[in-house]
Chains A and B, each alone.
Chain A
Amino acid sequence: MIKRFLIVALMIFTAVEVSADELDESLIQSSINPVVLQQGKVLFEQVCASCHNKDLSGASGFNLKDGEWVHGKRPTQILNNVKNGFMSAGMPGFADVFSEVQLRSIVSYILSKREGWDDLQYKLYQLDNENDQVVTEDKLIKSGPLVNNLADFAIPEVQHYFIEFEGDFYAPKENDAQLWLQWGAPHEMEVFINGKQVLKGGTPWFPTWRLKRGKQRLKLTYRSGNTKPGQRNLTVIATNLDMTIKLFAVSSRAKTIMDDKKFEIKATSDTVVIRKRIHSLPPLSISVGTPAKLNYAFNSKTCSINGLWQGDLLNIGPNISGRGEDPSLPLGEWIFKSPQGIEHTTAENQVCSYKGYQLLNSEPVFNYAIGDTNFSVTAMVKHNNKISFLFNSNTQKKTVILRLPTSEKLIWSSENGKVTADKAVITTNSKGSFQLTASIQK
């Protein structure tokens, strides 16, 4: 089945003599073809991600998923740019490196990741006073395109006005999302999707409007009313539904805020220990990133290893920008996360007591006690698919039972006892130590 898809996909790309319009259309069509996208994704991550980031959000190279296209946004223009590069800006051309089919798959993959506005236009109407609610064509004083595809609420230079932003809009395809307006209580903003008004949700100060998945026609309107002039440059951001992830900027002001929400922490030469709020992990989780690109979290409340992820450590930007409202985002793929974890089975009401960590050659050793028994745990990571947890205790030849995370990707082993899919029954050795290893399957 997959093979047949591939053949169809390849056939699309074998037509050589096509017009630019036809090629645009073909690249757009392919941006919903999973086979093409898979190929594009693999190539993108191999060669493009180092400059444009794995999530296309940009690094030394431009952001490739927002509405701003410095060198042209047409699919054929993007294709030509991938082929020819911009040597002066440090981007090589890939025409001689990849086949036409491969190059087109990269472009289709980029197109599939598009988010935010496209072809955004605005219309500004001057109103008579703060109570004027009648918006008629004769009050239209300014209109035009917004080339960076962000709703710019700073355009009006009149006191009383109504402004309308309308364009195509790309929301996430696989997840639900919403528009979020910061400090929204005094503001009369309305949202229309595909011509229909969307009900306002959220809270008075932080209202939200549910988006449809994928491409839609979006219109935002705003009437200045009796708001203070200094408050009218609105911050509108697309977020996930539980508001834990701010996805992308919808207004110009939000862009500045979102740009500040990127600060990636990567373990390069040494292991990194960092305490921040982390998305999907409970409070008091301490994250540890290793240069081998396998990261774990130790929770100081439960004394458990409650997260394991492959890739780079964290984007702490959301947690250190503005007031730091948003959690840090793990940069890789979860292997397991809380409520799963490596956790001692303890008697009812028995709580662990966290004693801190010690850095030994930059590796953290976490110390804790359960009842009268003192434990320590550290990890050894040589490759991103294998991690060994080295436990130590002050009791020799004693049985320790640990609950283990279950996953098809994980194979647990220990030389010190019996390990099943979800449990390890271990006897500490003559030094009070034992080891537990997780091998991660592809």
Chain B
Amino acid sequence: MKVLTNLLSPIITLSVTLSINAQQAPKHEYTPDGYTIVTVETPKDVRFHVTGLDSDSAGVIWVATRFGEVWYLKQGQWSKFAEGLHEPTGLMVDDDGSILVAQKPELTRLIDTNNDNKADAYIPLANDWEFHDNYHEFTFGPVKDNLGNLFGTLNLSHNNPDAFTMGAMGTAGGHRGFAFKVDEKGRYSPYAHGLRSPAGIGASPSGEIFFTDNQGDWVPTSKMHLLQEGKFYGHPVSLIEIDGFTKEKVKNLSLDTLAAMSEKPVVWIPHIEVANSPGNPEWDTTQGKFGPFEGQIFIGDQTQSNVFRVLLDKVNGKYQGAVINFMNRFQSGNIRAEFDVNGQLWIGQTARGWGAQGGKPFGLEKVVWDGTNPFELLEIKLTKTGFKLTYTDELDATSVKSDSLSAQSWHYHYSGNYGSPKKDLTQLPVSNITLSKDKKSIDIELPLMADKVVQIDFPGLKDVNGRSVSVEKVYYTLNELIK
């Protein structure tokens, strides 16, 4: 019996390793050359869970904490601006310098009317949604589009006995699971629905609004969407507030019907490997102050304590694209990201209630760049026959060969289950690898199929200085092939 056990155990271990290999965070520390994480000292003896983060044109950093306070960091000194708020999870410095905070029950404008550097007016900008005192009913945002409209998202509830559920999360009505808009005149309207735990919202430089949603019931893996008016984003419970639907009707909708109604995400974000609980998309508009990634999206993850990039592609007029890890081993859960005027990427952190890889309960860190050109994947674009991958430095031509690269694809199963494993995981042959004239890009060919996530690994590629990349996997969400 003992012999048999001994023989079996390596086999069992091996099979376990293979089966979980599919969803595993990178074990190594990944840091692009030239980038460092700097821990920022926060006010002493203050519970500084940074869930709202913005900066102004003078480089002042503004923070909202889960405890309910607003602080600012100016010339190395922290000062408290406001207090007594209800677990804010979003903050924006408005054009007039006033501060907007997304509290659970209210979007609030904080104004310092008597110029003593403390808010003395707490003015509701919107409170038209319902808050039922459920702990999961967060309000995320706001962000502003180029027309002056504000947008935010409203989390579903959890463990609320009065809520309608079809899995883990629920709604007791009042626009839970919706995105909302507040126009320049202060008029509130529900904007889109089908959201689950949409913990991050961001406005692109051109004023388009994107949001992330967290893996769970009806969200097979975390994702980022383009936010568009009237659209449905997949979590069915908020449909009960849409004309023509009832609870009964929603419960009876087939998976196929719901899937057909749902918007496709711009990117799927592979669970654990990249993120479990992504925060807000933040655009690098630093004009090179943060290195070569100008125009790209950076997102922190609360669980994995990492930051990843989103590389947008536009195919047939629609956004799709890829995600790739950027840096890990932050001290706590990365929920907020913000570029300041100096080109530093600030990361707001909390790990309370939802644990994080980084052991600290809360904090603030920033990523700074020292000017060294890193060697990493810069971008990826779909071609008719495969992908074009562009790097930040010239490639060593001898490393550009088929055994330097590999590819695989899968899709997710949309359902009320909590997340989805990778379905139909398939190895893809990579062929016809060609190096561009400027030696920075390669074109690869592989069999393409729509509605798949394509993972491309390039561990064998080296730059002309002999460097390897710190992150060798990119995940492209292939909603559509080029028509």
Contact of A323 among B68, B83, B120, B354 (CB under 8 A): B354
* Docked-complex contact B67 and A320, CB < 8 angstroms: yes
* Docked-complex contact A325 and B124, CB < 8 angstroms: no
Interface 1/0s, chain B 118-142, versus A by CB < 8 A?
A: 0111111001000111011000000
Report if B352 contacts A (CB, 8 A): yes
* Docked-complex contact A359 and B86, CB < 8 angstroms: no
The interface residues of chain A lying within 8 Å CB-to-CB of B127 are 284, 300, 354
CB proximity of A107 to chain B, nearest CB, Å = 36
* Docked-complex contact A354 and B124, CB < 8 angstroms: yes
Cα distance A354–B125 when bound, in Å?
A: 10
* Docked-complex contact A275 and B67, CB < 8 angstroms: no
Specify the chain B residue showing the minimal Cβ separation from A203: B159
Report if A34 contacts B (CB, 8 A): no
Cα distance A24–B162 when bound, in Å?
A: 49
* Docked-complex contact A355 and B131, CB < 8 angstroms: no
Given contacts A275-B68, A325-B159, contact A300 B135 (CB under 8 A): no
The interface residues of chain B lying within 8 Å CB-to-CB of A229 are none
Contact of B68 among A274, A321, A354 (CB under 8 A): A274
* Docked-complex contact A284 and B131, CB < 8 angstroms: yes
CB proximity of A92 to chain B, nearest CB, Å = 29
Given contacts A320-B47, A320-B67, A324-B353, contact A275 B103 (CB under 8 A): yes
| SS class, residues of chain B in contact with chain A | loop
Cα distance A126–B203 when bound, in Å?
A: 58
Report if A371 contacts B (CB, 8 A): no
Cα distance A321–B66 when bound, in Å?
A: 11
- Residues facing B in A387-429 (CB within 8 A) are none
* Docked-complex contact A300 and B124, CB < 8 angstroms: yes
Report if A357 contacts B (CB, 8 A): yes
Given contacts A283-B132, A323-B135, A324-B353, contact A356 B108 (CB under 8 A): yes
- Residues facing B in A328-357 (CB within 8 A) are 354-357
* Docked-complex contact B67 and A274, CB < 8 angstroms: no
Contact of A300 among B87, B106, B120, B354 (CB under 8 A): B106
CB proximity of B436 to chain A, nearest CB, Å = 49
Given contacts A300-B106, A355-B123, contact A273 B84 (CB under 8 A): yes
Report if A172 contacts B (CB, 8 A): no
The interface residues of chain B lying within 8 Å CB-to-CB of A320 are 47, 66-67, 87
CB proximity of A121 to chain B, nearest CB, Å = 33
The interface residues of chain B lying within 8 Å CB-to-CB of A204 are none
Report if B105 contacts A (CB, 8 A): yes
CB proximity of B133 to chain A, nearest CB, Å = 4
Cα distance A322–B122 when bound, in Å?
A: 27
Report if A266 contacts B (CB, 8 A): no
Contact of A358 among B120, B124, B136 (CB under 8 A): B120
Report if A327 contacts B (CB, 8 A): yes
* Docked-complex contact B103 and A323, CB < 8 angstroms: no
For chain A, the count of residues having a C-beta within 8 Å of the partner chain is 25
* Docked-complex contact B353 and A275, CB < 8 angstroms: no
The interface residues of chain A lying within 8 Å CB-to-CB of B113 are 358
The interface residues of chain A lying within 8 Å CB-to-CB of B133 are 277, 282-283, 327
Given contacts A275-B85, A300-B124, contact A325 B135 (CB under 8 A): yes
- Residues facing A in B328-386 (CB within 8 A) are 352-354
* Docked-complex contact A356 and B122, CB < 8 angstroms: yes
The interface residues of chain B lying within 8 Å CB-to-CB of A189 are none
* Docked-complex contact A357 and B66, CB < 8 angstroms: no
* Docked-complex contact A356 and B123, CB < 8 angstroms: yes
The interface residues of chain B lying within 8 Å CB-to-CB of A282 are 133
Report if A272 contacts B (CB, 8 A): yes
The interface residues of chain B lying within 8 Å CB-to-CB of A284 are 105, 127, 131
The interface residues of chain A lying within 8 Å CB-to-CB of B86 are 275-277
Cα distance A327–B66 when bound, in Å?
A: 15
Cα distance A143–B121 when bound, in Å?
A: 62
The interface residues of chain B lying within 8 Å CB-to-CB of A358 are 113, 120-122
The interface residues of chain A lying within 8 Å CB-to-CB of B103 are 275
The interface residues of chain B lying within 8 Å CB-to-CB of A321 are 352
The interface residues of chain B lying within 8 Å CB-to-CB of A327 are 133
The interface residues of chain A lying within 8 Å CB-to-CB of B159 are 206, 325
- Residues facing B in A160-180 (CB within 8 A) are none
Contact of B105 among A283, A356, A360 (CB under 8 A): A283
The interface residues of chain A lying within 8 Å CB-to-CB of B83 are 273-274
* Docked-complex contact A283 and B123, CB < 8 angstroms: no
Given contacts A276-B86, A283-B131, contact A322 B352 (CB under 8 A): yes
* Docked-complex contact B47 and A324, CB < 8 angstroms: no
Cα distance A284–B159 when bound, in Å?
A: 19
The interface residues of chain B lying within 8 Å CB-to-CB of A272 are 84
CB proximity of B196 to chain A, nearest CB, Å = 16
CB proximity of A259 to chain B, nearest CB, Å = 14
* Docked-complex contact B105 and A276, CB < 8 angstroms: no
Specify the chain A residue showing the minimal Cβ separation from B110: A356
* Docked-complex contact A322 and B353, CB < 8 angstroms: yes
The interface residues of chain A lying within 8 Å CB-to-CB of B84 are 272-275
- Residues facing A in B39-70 (CB within 8 A) are 47, 66-68
Specify the chain A residue showing the minimal Cβ separation from B137: A283
Cα distance A382–B126 when bound, in Å?
A: 35
CB proximity of A262 to chain B, nearest CB, Å = 13
Contact of A324 among B85, B87, B123, B132 (CB under 8 A): B87
Q: Which 4 A-B pairs have the closest CB atoms?
A: A323-B353, A275-B86, A356-B123, A274-B84
25 contacting pairs across A/B (C-beta < 8 A): A206-B159, A273-B83, A274-B83, A275-B68, A275-B84, A277-B133, A277-B135, A283-B132, A284-B105, A284-B131, A300-B105, A300-B106, A300-B124, A300-B127, A323-B136, A324-B66, A324-B353, A325-B159, A327-B133, A355-B123, A355-B124, A357-B121, A358-B113, A358-B121, A360-B120
Interface on B for A, CB 8 Å cutoff? 47, 66-68, 83-87, 103, 105-106, 108, 113, 119-124, 127, 131-133, 135-136, 159, 352-354
Interface on A for B, CB 8 Å cutoff? 206, 272-277, 282-284, 300, 320-325, 327, 354-360
- 14 further A-B contacts with Cβ under 8 Å, apart from A276-B86, A359-B119, A359-B121, are A275-B68, A277-B86, A283-B133, A284-B131, A300-B127, A323-B354, A324-B66, A325-B159, A327-B133, A356-B123, A356-B124, A358-B120, A358-B121, A358-B122
